[in-house]
Amino acid sequence: MDSIRKSLNLSDRNPGAAGKEIIVNSSAKLLNSYSPIDGALLGAVEVADESAYERVINEAHETFKEWRLVPAPKRGEVVREIGNLLREHKKDLGRLVTLEMGKILSEGEGEIQEAIDIADFAVGLSRQLYGKTMHSERPAHRMYEQWHPLGPVGVITAFNFPAAVWAWNAMIAAVCGDVVIWKPSEETPLTAVALNTLCRSVAEKHGFPGLFSLLVGDGPELGKKMAADRRLPLISATGSCRMGRSVGETVAARLGRSILELGGNNAIIVLKDADFDLLIPSVLFGAVGTAGQRCTTTRRILIEKEVKDEFLRRLLSAYKQIRIGDPLKSETLMGPLINERAVEIYKNALVSIKEQGGEILCGGRVLEGMPSGLYVEPTVVAARHEMPIVKEETFAPILYVIEVSSLDQALEYHNDVPQGLSSAIFTRDLRSAERFLSAAGSDCGIANVNIGTSGAEIGGAFGGEKDTGGGRESGSDAWKQYMRRQTNTINYSTELPLAQGIKFEL
């Protein structure tokens, strides 16, 4: 940790607020960050108070007034430099993510690679913020639309992707001409401090130190305050459905915009013609990766009866080979859960599974003798669709295997949950695959064929439907949410005809 502190300009005590300047507050309440790996204290961050909040918001507005006037390709050049700086610090940032969040090192570094990739994407996007031209019904008139910067954007992120999700929002918002105020998870404040410090160093060099702001809180109150603040025209919030409802309702009450990325209850439909050589590793990563703490984690398998036994034989054999332990070691495939509350949720889910008639086929224990009490066994459960817990998102490595009689029944079960984020089908049959992708198929924002539910690429718009919130981040045309659309009509004639042929004459 000492070498990481030095490389990323971290110390034992770190300011938790930054606007045009980093705000030091010697009397601030401290938020300690402990590693879930072994409980070690990684460092402390000062909690932003009311005066810091007001200063950051006001300075963000001042910066926005100047940043919005910078040509978009020039904004892209700033983001290009940020991406290059992240490349230089990828290993240290990835290691910090692993230390603070607990995901294995390849995933920690992979998350920083996502931040780099979205910066590269945003650079190209800076020259592609296109509007349309339309033909006017009136002679000698021209119509077109253009997109303008929106304003300061509030970004609220969760612990499980402490770097990538912010980058999805911040890099796109920056090339769109917005400034960003970040409220990170209180579980991963050091990652936020380090990443924000790096990015703002580039922005400051170009004369915009308030481009990327930071506000670290120690609970939900700061996020609620941002959601209610009319000075923030857009709030992008990632987290639980409960949190999303609170943020969404508050933002909607002031007629603001929100991008909500909430829970997932993701299923893979397995038909009898599935390629098991593709299926098993997809399920393994989808269900066990990040210790089941991804919104895209595979939580349900809907499998035809004819291949269920063979699937379970191969899957349970693979589960026995999962190496659980120190996520910094290259051989480890699963690290700890984030905190004691997550372990309690895991344990309570196991009780409910048994009460509701589910059968635990493997796993189901909190591991003893580990560096912390946060290591659990990945668990496979023989379940029925009617079990209430199957319709819930348990943020832990618990996988439900549910037998179905047909694709019809699989689709019925698949869509009969409140969440609608990611989904997949494994089949060799073109008709089945296309039906899954049709309007009568998966109701999720992400639908895959012969790949798993987890591991989305940055080029596509990321997000889901129903209780997942309906928001979209990252690629495709998700950039439009960070800008305001303006329709323009120019009359270059000497007449003033009205639309729809209306006559209004004195």
Residue ranges in 9-49 assigned as alpha helix (H): none
Q: Would you say how long the chain is, in residues?
A: 506
Question: Residue 486: what are its φ and ψ, rounded to 5°?
Answer: -135, 125
Q: What is the DSSP letter of 48?
A: P
Q: Are 10 and 4 in contact (CB under 8 A)?
A: yes
Q: H helices of 89-234, where?
A: 90-101, 105-125, 164-175, 189-205, 221-228
One of 176, 199, 241, 295 is an active-site residue; which one?
A: 295
Q: Catalytic: which of 46, 107, 261, 377? A: 261
Distances (CA, A) of 273 to 243, 269, 270, 303, 308: 40, 11, 8, 11, 12
Helix (H) or strand (E) holding 176, with range, is none
| DSSP code string of 241-301 | HHHHHHHHHHHHHTT-EEEEE----EEEEE-TT--HHHHHHHHHHHHHGGGG-STT-EEEE
- For residue 261, indicate whether it is catalytic: yes
**Residues in Cβ contact with 182 at an 8 Å cutoff, skipping those fewer than 6 apart:** 155, 157, 166, 170, 192, 196, 212, 213, 214, 215
CA distances from 346 to 286, 305, 379, 406 (A): 17, 28, 10, 31
Which letter does DSSP use for residue 339 in this model?
A: S
Query: Could you identify the residue written with the tokens 């379940």?
Result: 383
Task: Find all residues with CB under 8 Å of 379, minimum gap 6, and list them.
Answer: 350, 360, 362, 363, 364, 396, 397, 398, 399
Instruction: Based on the residue annotation, tell me whether 109 is a catalytic residue of this protein.
Output: no
* CA separation for the pair 223, 13 (Å, rounded): 23
Residues designated catalytic: 261, 295
